[in-house]
Amino acid sequence: MSTIGFIGLGQMGSPMAANLIKGGHSLRVFDISAEAVADLVSKGAVAAKTPAEAALDVEFVVTMLPNGGLVRNVIFGEDGVATTLSKEAMLIDMSTIHPFETDALIKEMAEQGFQMMEAPVGRTSVHAIKGELLIMAGGSKEQIERAQPLFDCMGSETVDCGGPGKGGRVKIINNYMSIALNALSAEAITLAEAIGLDFDTAMKVMSGTPAGNGHFTTTWPGKVLAGDLSPAFMVDLAHKDLGIALDLANQVNVPMPCGAASRELYSITRAAGRGRQDWTSVLEQLRVTSGLEPKIK
């Protein structure tokens, strides 16, 4: 069992810390909220007055804070973790922050002889309470192996994302997609209601198509990911259908910012001569437009 300094006891950090205590670890906790600290003390943690005190004589420090500026301040600020952390200990930042900030922090920590990895989490506070988070580990194999007993208390699945900084990168891509899909879904369902559709019927139809199931496991594997852009459904037809939906939305006064932006990607794909290719060629087109090496000749 390990000694752990835990900093940031909010919606996520508080249940994560509680699960580490349940797993038999000894915790020294710090948060700017005295109430949050008192709650963890009632569960068996020891209170620290500063980040430095939380990091004193521990094997791990876990940070779970709202943003990168706070993580930096808790590490390198006055009474920060770096003033007391042992060179044998490891700092694990589990916050969701800008991956380039993570890169800079790992580099600066290493320059001072400290060990740091990142391990942001997927899912929500409901899963944090149950110890069922998805842990996106960014670090060396040795670092991940060392942190695994902690991850096992807080999560039900750990994914080795492929090296330092990669956990934070995957996390942001994952959130980008699920957050943007939330907005796109809201647009579609609002339009459905505005044109008089029954909500449950619309949901039922879309749950049986890529609209509800996404493209990763439906349209992409047999087409663009297999290098086959022969049309199952043509870019030209997708472009036409998006145009009809946008026109309809315009007539019933529903703004469609995601749909309008998506239509332009199909316009770019069509303008590049891919109109008669499969609609999944938007992926290849965007890759090429972004300066990445073409995958499909």
| 183 contacts ligand NAD (rule: CB under 6 A) | no
Span near ligand NAD by CB under 6 A; candidates 28-36, 144-152, 268-276, 285-293: 28-36
Of the residues 171, 240, 295, 297, only one is catalytic, namely 171
| 74 contacts ligand NAD (rule: CB under 6 A) | yes
140-168 CB burial, b ≥16 within 10 A, e <16: eeebbebbeebbebbbeebbbbebbbbbb
Whichever of 126 and 226 has its CB closer to ligand NAD, that residue is: 126
Count of residues engaged in binding ligand NAD, rule: CB under 6 A = 23
Distance CA 239, CA 278 (A): 12
3-state secondary structure 153-219: HHEEEEEECCCCCHHHHHHHHHHHHHHHHHHHHHHHHHHHHHCCCCHHHHHHHHHCCHHHHCCCCCC
| 101 contacts ligand NAD (rule: CB under 6 A) | no
Query: Phi and psi of 98, rounded to 5°?
Result: -60, 125
Span near ligand NAD by CB under 6 A; candidates 31-39, 79-87, 214-222, 228-236: 31-39
- Annotation marks residue 166 as catalytic: no
| 33 contacts ligand NAD (rule: CB under 6 A) | yes
Instruction: Report residue 72 CA to chain centroid gap.
Output: 20
Provide the minimum distance between the beta carbon of 74 and ligand NAD in the complex, in angstroms, as a whole number. 5
Distance CA 94, CA 252 (A): 44
Beta bridge partners of 6: 29, 62
| 52 contacts ligand NAD (rule: CB under 6 A) | no
Provide the minimum distance between the beta carbon of 150 and ligand NAD in the complex, in angstroms, as a whole number. 16
**Interaction site with ligand NAD (CB under 6 A):** 7-13, 30-33, 36, 64-66, 70, 73-74, 95-96, 121, 124-125
Active site residues: 171
